[in-house]
Amino acid sequence: MNCLDDLGEQVGTERWFEMDGGGKVQFRPVPIAEYRRIQKKTTKQKVDFKKVEGQPARLPYEEVDQDLATRLFWDYAIVSWDEFSFCHPETKEMVICTPETCTADNKFILINLSKKFVTFANESMKTLDEDEKACDADEKKTLSNGLNGQTSTNQE
């Protein structure tokens, strides 16, 4: 019997990525359950009442807070960072990036204001996703080979 043990938050899927010019950032994949949690927090159901062809009509729609969705996504995906810095846009002070300064606000600043950082983050997440898919494929192949080997043993 197959026991699915991948429920909940996956431990050990975080990975460090080195930035060009120095520094490193630790990312983790964002599971579907987290996407749904973000969507629930950032999407509101709204209704407009208008006349359509002279008749009153109820027109439901969704309103999404994209800034909050972006903030929550990257706050989850970026686990930690180290060994680089940036100038805070409001205080003009240098922020030395250490695990202690890896806050939701600082993540949001870099994602929104640094083209270099957002490109690096997107590429890192894509690599993480591809690695996860490759790992899943290897796992399926291993299971398939194990089952084939088991089947042939049972037939003998």
117 pLDDT more than 60: yes
Q: HSE on the CB side for 94, CA within 13 Å?
A: 4
4 pLDDT more than 80: no
Q: Which residues pair with 124 in a beta bridge?
A: none
Residues 102 and 88: their CA atoms lie apart, in Å, by 13
What is the mean predicted confidence (pLDDT) over 73-79? 98
Separation in Å, CA 27 to CA 105, 114, 118, 120:
17, 17, 13, 11
